[in-house]
Amino acid sequence: MDHHTIAAISTAVTESGIGIVRMSGTEAVNIADKVYRGKKKKKLSEQKSHTIHYGYFVDGEETIDEVLFMIMKSPHSYTGEDTVEINCHGGIYVVKRILETLLKYGARAAEPGEFTKRAFLNGRMDLSQAEAVIDIIQSKNEYALKSSVSQLKGNVKKKINELRKEIIYHTAYIETALDDPEHIELDHYGERLRDTVKKLKSDMQDLIESYDNGKIIKEGIRTVIVGKPNAGKSSLLNVLLGEERAIVTDIAGTTRDILQETIHFQDITLNIVDTAGIRNTDNEIEKIGVERARKYAGEADLIIYVIDASAPLDENDNEIIEFIKNRKALVLLNKTDLKAVVGKEMVRSLLCKGRLDDKEENEIPILEISAKNEEGIQELKEVIRKMFYLGKISFNSEIYITNVRQKSALKNAYDSLTNVVESIDSGMPEDFYSIDLMDAYESLGNITGETIGEDLIDEIFSKFCVGK
């Protein structure tokens, strides 16, 4: 590990009330002594850890700013090293000047994520906790924040360590028995091991399956609004956004291209796409928009189908209804401020006709709204929340895998344990068990960072912002 003292601006470089410049490393406090001038002559290096000191940031005889110096000495700091944080005024020039002065007196400019990387390398956190740091910074909603904080507290680390402990116990037992067969027997051990591996695989499968929810929590719900031209799709988008972003007219086919927006409710995020109205058309430009609408709908986590309830259904509606069957979707009967000719039962009968899954809990919700009068919108938000989270999200005991790297490592470990079961069922020698058990152990170690290569570590932390 590079042992140079590093420095970086940790707050946004903009005009603000306060700015923070951070240093970490063996020379952090000594460099701070060179740029600190307080009312008392006592140096910062002589002060106790975890104390804050008022004074001035100076460069020789020049006073640059009135500041607070926060001293946190090794090993009880974020990075595990001596750390100094300088709280200054938040002007663009002043924070840059303070950083340049720290570099002048011996610090090195930090790389992206280098503070958190040092925390990982110094054993202050494992890799799953380090990844949770960037997830907290990028959180878009309440669920995402709670999930990230849960992971930062070590919930993923704890579960993975439990799985690895069980695996390494059986691996060590087999290896010891093979080395000392006179004192340790392996008769019928495969049968006992099969039960253990079955439980381990079940736990891993639960974590793997949590990824879909975890990804939605972290990144948001990919949502596509579809419907015939002039059904009120763009009006709905404007209401959800709280501003006029989509053009709304009485002319059918106004929306020709894709309009993408991110909408944040308190605890969920919709990455929402307003598409061109789906209908048969000879207009080449509109036809391209319709094809794009179908493509986006096919890739969506949620399809919102808007129907103009004041107009009869036609073949275009029938096509859309067939498309959304057996998909995660909901139907909005819009324009309830006008006389309705399409009702819930009519649409439900069409949706149920020929469906592969007719379970009641999997029925596509149908709501009545008026985008024009903003009626039914709160109910819409509640239905979306229940469709994806069932109102049971908890981050005290439940664990959600939120990145594909962790999911891939779990899948590799799961496959290795499957090989163990196959070896047992095939009557293979016990040393075959230990090979695949160790593969599973190593794969799980990739999640916590215990068995990960330096190149991958560098790649992960390069995605962090400078100063974190």
Domains and CATH numbers, the chain: 6-125 (3.30.1360.120), 132-215+400-461 (1.20.120.430), 221-389 (3.40.50.300)
Q: How far apart are CA 160 and CA 122, in angstroms?
A: 20
- pLDDT at residue 255 in the model: 44
Confidence of residue 227 (pLDDT cuts 50, 70, 90): confident
Listed residue (349, 367, 271, 355) closest to 313, CA to CA: 349
Neighbours of 256 (CB within 10 A): 15
Neighbours of 247 (CB within 10 A): 11
Structure tokens at 428: 């293979």
- pLDDT at residue 246 in the model: 45
- pLDDT at residue 151 in the model: 83
The answer, yes or no, to whether residue 252 has pLDDT greater than 50, is no
The H or E element that residue 84 is part of is: strand 83-90
pLDDT digits (tens, 9 = 90+) for 29-49: 999 999 999 987 789 999 999
Q: How far apart are CA 38 and CA 68, in angstroms?
A: 10
Mean pLDDT for 36-65 is: 93
Listed residue (5, 20, 9, 8) closest to 105, CA to CA: 5
Cα angle 239, 241, 243 (rounded to 5 degrees) comes to 75
Mean pLDDT for 90-117 is: 94
Map residue 307 onto helix, strand or coil: strand
- pLDDT at residue 22 in the model: 97
Q: How far apart are CA 290 and CA 438, in angstroms?
A: 52
Mean pLDDT for 281-303 is: 67
The answer, yes or no, to whether residue 248 has pLDDT greater than 70, is no
Q: Which has the minimum average pLDDT: 89-98, 178-187, 341-350, 457-466?
A: 178-187
| Sheet containing strand 83-90, strands side by side | 36-37, 51-59, 62-72, 83-90, 16-24, 6-9, 108-109
Q: What is the pTM of this model?
A: 0.73
Q: How far apart are CA 181 and CA 189, in angstroms?
A: 13
Mean pLDDT for 177-188 is: 78
Q: Greater confidence, 34 or 182?
A: 34
The answer, yes or no, to whether residue 391 has pLDDT greater than 70, is no
Q: How far apart are CA 114 and CA 467, in angstroms?
A: 8
The answer, yes or no, to whether residue 278 has pLDDT greater than 70, is no
- Measured in whole angstroms, the distance separating CA 150 from the mean position of its chain's CA atoms is 12
Cα angle 49, 53, 56 (rounded to 5 degrees) comes to 140
Confidence of residue 247 (pLDDT cuts 50, 70, 90): very low
- pLDDT at residue 135 in the model: 84
The answer, yes or no, to whether residue 361 has pLDDT greater than 70, is no
Structure tokens at 272: 């929402």
b/e per residue 424-443 (b: at least 16 CB within 10 A) = beeeeebebbbebbbbbbbb
Q: How far apart are CA 253 and CA 106, in angstroms?
A: 64
% of the chain exceeding 90 in pLDDT: 41
CA atoms in the 13 A half-sphere facing the CB of 65: 22
Confidence of residue 410 (pLDDT cuts 50, 70, 90): very high
Q: How far apart are CA 321 and CA 307, in angstroms?
A: 10
Q: Which residues contact 372 (CB under 8 A, 6 or more apart)?
A: 232, 235, 335, 337
Q: Are 71 and 32 in contact (CB under 8 A)?
A: yes
Listed residue (340, 333, 337) closest to 372, CA to CA: 337
Confidence of residue 403 (pLDDT cuts 50, 70, 90): confident
- Measured in whole angstroms, the distance separating CA 148 from the mean position of its chain's CA atoms is 7
Listed residue (306, 267, 277) closest to 384, CA to CA: 267
Q: Are 181 and 431 in contact (CB under 8 A)?
A: no
Bridge partners, residue 57, by sequence: 36, 65
Q: How far apart are CA 140 and CA 149, in angstroms?
A: 13
Give me the chain's average pLDDT, please.
84
Listed residue (291, 302, 285) closest to 225, CA to CA: 302
Confidence of residue 389 (pLDDT cuts 50, 70, 90): low
Q: Which DSSP string do the residues of 172-222 spell out, in sequence order?
A: HHHHHHHH-TTTS--TTHHHHHHHHHHHHHHHHHHHHHHHHHHHHHHH-EE
Cα angle 241, 243, 249 (rounded to 5 degrees) comes to 105
